[in-house]
């Protein structure tokens, strides 16, 4: 672990810090009225998104979830266009038609966030099938939560991927809650990586709050996939610091649990490691943080002044060849 | 012109498109070694191999969903859902994933996915193997819906579906698989949104959907003997729908019966009837009528099934009410 170069770990920190601060900024801007819709924030879960995407190439693809901002940023999504999409503007990633739950950037290999729990997993398997048919060395990684492992779509997709040994990584962020119900009340097991056994591929458990541990586990899975050895299931044990959605009263949260996990908050924990393990100066870290804050100031400014969609834009883009009012 | 069956025409379209474009591949339950539950894919696996004609687990959500992912990555998957009745098992992937990807991404991605699915009743197959679900899916923006009713249309429309950039649900009526008809030689396509004037008439318009097109023709022949000259129209695709030909015929005859095998409540026939009511009411000489299955699950007993499904006599009885 100590072999990592200083610039690398500082960049890892920049990425997890960006995800955290993007979320806090989005929550704030929603409160102020810039963002009209839902936000399902990933505060507390930055290390899984960043660690996993670090192991991917740009032409590898991911599918994401309703809690997807971290995945999108980690795969290279631009905070400007993300914030503009959250603000429902024409220059947002989806021209204001998708919002938080549908952000996609196909050039970056982001096949989309998803409003349906487990909805994106089969598409990742399909992308991996396309790579396999074309004999490309690309991989697909599907992010999903613990709740999605109770969906049929997960089991169908994992079975198919195991059967065909497709280059896909099933990345489960086990944040201990599926919407408003604890994971322990939703499934008869708590180590979800065990589910992989029934599909005959490895299931790995990793500390989901440690970006480097996540990176290493994912790198190994990616190598296996590229070598034609098939899928891996990675379970990142982590915790959702905020509600299922912003505004969630969280009556279901187990007392004391949040405080316990906050002591292992991935951001300050990794920051401290930069200082202790890599002897990085406080000033240098501060510089990185300032540049992220600057980037987010620009993103919010961009979103605030971005054009609001014209009414007629509502009818465009349903089909490739049927336009506007001709949609029937 | 040479003749072939509806099933052969579909197989020929699949083979030609696979030869034409290496991105086209087939995936579904029992479509390769078993050669298709209805024999449609036949021996295609021998020419194209088991990678491109791919047997899958019984996993409709994964079949459709993997089709979505492969389509987004530039392939042109043609997936087969063995019975229309199994569409609900994969419905999230159809309705929420395939249909919405283009629009919700701001138009940045295409999902050139064709979902071939059998539809309709063939006799004593009961409520899980006899249904017609096209009416459910016409309400989902982003999907195109094809309902071919002749071998020529099946071939030409399937080629259009495979070459298009949007997801298509391609309903193949099981009762039509053995129907023989003329199919032109060589490469041809039939555009979506162009209805077919099957029989010219002046007294009443019968609009038949999928397997009901031949039944409408039989009814028209019988009505002719009673002195009623019926026009028969096959919409060929329900989304997009050829409003022009439908309204033109309605205006000409002033009497319309819309016929579907699906349950009559909330179906495509209701949609077409509403279209005519909205745009051609002033030309109507009689109420616009629908003929469809009675609104109960399709029963097993041939006696009960016949009672529930629409047939020639139901169409003729409906027409008689209009005069």
In chain B, which residues have their Cβ closer than 8 Å to the Cβ of A112? 101, 104-105
N residues, chain A: 328
Binary contact (A92, B106; C-beta < 8 A) = yes
H helices, E strands: number in chain A = 10, 7
Here the CATH number for the domain that contains residue A230 is: 3.40.50.970
B188 vs B182, B203, B239, CA distance in Å? Answer: 13, 34, 21
In chain A, which residues have their Cβ closer than 8 Å to the Cβ of B66? 122-123, 125-126, 129, 157, 160
Let me know if residue A163 belongs to a domain: yes
SS3 A101: helix
Binding-face residues of A in 89-108 toward B, CB within 8 A: 92-98, 102, 104-106
Which residues of B are known catalytic residues? 129
Q: What is the pLDDT confidence band of residue A324, given thresholds at 50, 70 and 90?
A: low
Contact present, A207 and A237 (Cβ < 8 Å) = yes
Nearest CB among B51, B102, B110 relative to A133 is that of B51
The pLDDT tens digits for A17-57 are: 999 999 999 999 999 999 999 999 999 999 999 999 999 99
Whether A325 has a pLDDT exceeding 90, the answer reads no
| pLDDT score of A3 | 86
Let me know if residue A1 belongs to a domain: no
Beta-bridged to residue B80, according to DSSP, are B28, B116
Q: Chain B interface, mutation test: which of A100, A109, A122, most B Cβ atoms within 10 Å?
A: A122
- Smallest CA-to-CA distance from B318 within B274, B255, B271 is with B255
Q: In sequence order, which residues have a C-beta less than 8 Å from that of residue B182 and are 6 or more positions away?
A: B1, B2, B3, B151, B152
Instruction: Give the range of the structural domain holding residue A102, as residue numbers without chain letter.
Output: 6-326
In chain A, which residues have their Cβ closer than 8 Å to the Cβ of B65? 121-123, 125-126, 153, 156-157
Binary contact (B166, A319; C-beta < 8 A) = yes
Which helix (H) or strand (E) covers residue B119, if one does?
strand B114-119
Count CB neighbours of B187 within 10 A. 12
In chain B, which residues have their Cβ closer than 8 Å to the Cβ of A37? none
| pLDDT score of A127 | 98
CATH superfamily entry for domain B3-182 = Thiamin diphosphate (ThDP)-binding fold, Pyr/PP domains (3.40.50.970)
Contact present, A161 and B57 (Cβ < 8 Å) = no
Q: Report the C-alpha gap between B323 and A305 in whole angstroms.
A: 64
Q: Report the C-alpha gap between A125 and B77 in whole angstroms.
A: 13
Where along chain B do its domains lie? Answer: 3-182, 196-321
In chain B, which residues have their Cβ closer than 8 Å to the Cβ of A152? 61
Structure token pair of residue B58? 């019984």
Q: Report the C-alpha gap between A300 and A302 in whole angstroms.
A: 5
Contact present, B152 and B183 (Cβ < 8 Å) = yes
Distance from CA of B249 to the nearest CA of A (A): 19
Q: Tell me how many domains chain A contains.
A: 1
| pLDDT score of A2 | 53
In chain B, which residues have their Cβ closer than 8 Å to the Cβ of A153? 61-62, 65, 92-93
Count CB neighbours of A121 within 10 A. 32
Let me know if residue A137 belongs to a domain: yes
| pLDDT score of A327 | 58
Give the strand pairing for B53-55 and B24-28: parallel
The third-level CATH classification (topology) of the domain covering B196-321 is: Rossmann fold (3.40.50)
Whether A150 has a pLDDT exceeding 90, the answer reads yes
Nearest CB among B69, B75, B101 relative to A124 is that of B69
User: Looking at chain A, which residue has its C-alpha nearest residue B165?
Assistant: A320
Contact present, B240 and B193 (Cβ < 8 Å) = yes
Across the range A207-228, mean pLDDT stands at 98
Q: Residue B46: is it exposed, middle or buried by C-beta count within 10 angstroms (0-12/13-18/19+)?
A: exposed
Whether A208 has a pLDDT exceeding 60, the answer reads yes
Nearest CB among B74, B96, B240 relative to A130 is that of B74
| pLDDT score of B1 | 86
Answer whether B3-182 and B196-321 agree in fold: yes
Which position has the token pair 């969903």? Answer: B65
| pLDDT score of B216 | 98
Beta-bridged to residue A207, according to DSSP, are A237
Q: What is the pLDDT confidence band of residue A1, given thresholds at 50, 70 and 90?
A: low
Contact present, A133 and B77 (Cβ < 8 Å) = no
| pLDDT score of A322 | 87
- From first to last of its 323 residues, chain B has per-residue pLDDT tens of 899 999 999 999 999 999 999 999 999 999 999 999 999 999 999 999 999 999 999 999 999 999 999 999 999 999 999 999 999 999 999 999 999 999 999 999 999 999 999 999 999 999 999 999 999 999 999 999 999 999 999 999 999 999 999 999 999 999 999 999 999 999 999 999 999 999 999 999 999 999 999 999 999 999 999 999 999 999 999 999 999 999 999 999 999 999 999 999 999 999 999 999 999 999 999 999 999 999 999 999 999 999 999 999 999 999 999 99
Binary contact (A116, B108; C-beta < 8 A) = no
Binding-face residues of A in 129-168 toward B, CB within 8 A: 129-131, 133, 140, 152-153, 156-157, 159-160, 163
For residue B98, what is the DSSP state? Answer: I
Phi, psi of B257 (to 5 degrees): -125, 125
């Amino acid at each position: 672990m100590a072999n990592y170069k200083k610039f690398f770990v500082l960049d890892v920190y920049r990425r997890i810090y960006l995800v955290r601060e993007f979320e806090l900024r989005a929550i704030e801007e929603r409160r102020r009225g810039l963002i009209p819709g839902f936000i399902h924030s990933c505060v507390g879960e930055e290390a899984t998104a960043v660690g996993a995407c670090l192991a991917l190439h740009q032409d590898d693809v991911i599918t994401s979830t309703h809690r997807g901002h971290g995945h999108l940023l980690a795969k290279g999504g631009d905070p400007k266009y993300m914030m503009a999409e959250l603000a429902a503007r024409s220059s947002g990633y989806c021209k204001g038609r998708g919002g938080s739950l549908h952000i996609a950037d196909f050039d970056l290999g982001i096949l989309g966030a998803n409003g349906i729990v487990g909805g994106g997993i089969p598409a990742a398997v399909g992308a991996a099938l396309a790579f396999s048919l074309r004999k490309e060395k690309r991989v697909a990684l599907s992010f999903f939560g613990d709740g999605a492992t109770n969906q049929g779509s997960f089991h169908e997709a994992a079975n198919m991927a195991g059967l065909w040994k497709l280059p896909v990584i099933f990345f489960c962020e086990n944040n201990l809650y599926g919407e408003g119900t604890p994971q322990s009340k939703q499934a008869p097991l708590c180590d979800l990586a065990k589910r992989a056994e029934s599909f005959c591929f490895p299931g790995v458990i990793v500390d989901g709050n440690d970006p480097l541990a996540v990176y290493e586990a994912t790198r190994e899975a990616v190598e296996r996939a590229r070598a034609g050895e098939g899928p891996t299931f990675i379970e990142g044990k982590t915790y959702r610091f905020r509600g299922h959605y912003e505004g969630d009263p969280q009556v279901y949260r187990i007392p004391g649990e949040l405080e316990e996990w906050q002591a292992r908050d991935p951001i300050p924990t990794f920051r401290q490691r930069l200082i202790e393990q890599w002897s990085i100066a406080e000033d240098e870290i501060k510089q990185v943080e300032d540049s992220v804050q600057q980037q987010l100031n620009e993103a919010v400014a961009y979103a605030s002044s971005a054009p609001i969609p014209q009414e007629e834009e509502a009818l465009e883009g349903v089909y490739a060849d049927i336009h506007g009012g001709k949609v029937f | 012109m040479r003749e072939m069956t509806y099933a052969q025409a579909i197989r020929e379209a699949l083979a030609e498109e696979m030869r034409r474009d290496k991105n086209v591949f087939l995936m579904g339950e029992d479509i390769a070694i078993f050669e298709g539950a209805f024999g449609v894919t036949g021996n295609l696996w021998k020419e194209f191999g088991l990678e491109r004609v791919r047997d899958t687990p019984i996993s409709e959500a994964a079949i459709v969903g993997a089709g979505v992912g492969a389509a987004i990555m530039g392939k042109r998957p043609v997936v087969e859902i063995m019975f229309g009745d199994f569409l609900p098992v994969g419905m999230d992937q159809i309705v929420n994933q395939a249909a919405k990807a283009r629009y919700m991404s701001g138009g940045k991605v295409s999902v050139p996915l064709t979902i071939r699915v059998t539809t309709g009743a063939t006799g004593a197959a009961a409520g899980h193997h006899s249904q017609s679900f096209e009416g459910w899916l016409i309400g989902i923006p982003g999907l195109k819906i094809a309902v071919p009713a002749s071998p020529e249309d099946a071939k030409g429309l399937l080629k259009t579906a495979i070459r298009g950039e949007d997801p298509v649900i391609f309903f193949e009526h099981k009762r039509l698989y053995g129907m023989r008809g003329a199919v032109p030689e060589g490469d041809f396509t039939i555009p979506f949104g162009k209805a077919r004037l099957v029989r010219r008439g002046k007294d009443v318009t019968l609009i038949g959907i999928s397997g009901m097109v031949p039944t409408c023709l039989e009814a028209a022949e019988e009505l002719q003997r009673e002195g009623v000259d019926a026009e028969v129209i096959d919409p060929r695709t329900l989304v997009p729908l050829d409003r022009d030909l439908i309204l033109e015929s309605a205006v000409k005859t002033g009497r319309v019966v819309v016929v579907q095998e699906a349950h009559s409540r909330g179906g495509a026939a209701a949609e077409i009837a509403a279209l005519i009511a909205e745009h051609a009411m002033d030309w109507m000489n009689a109420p616009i009528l629908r003929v469809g299955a009675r609104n109960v699950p399709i029963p097993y007993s041939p006696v009960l099934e016949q009672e529930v499904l629409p047939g020639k006599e139901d169409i003729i009885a409906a027409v008689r009410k209009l005069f």
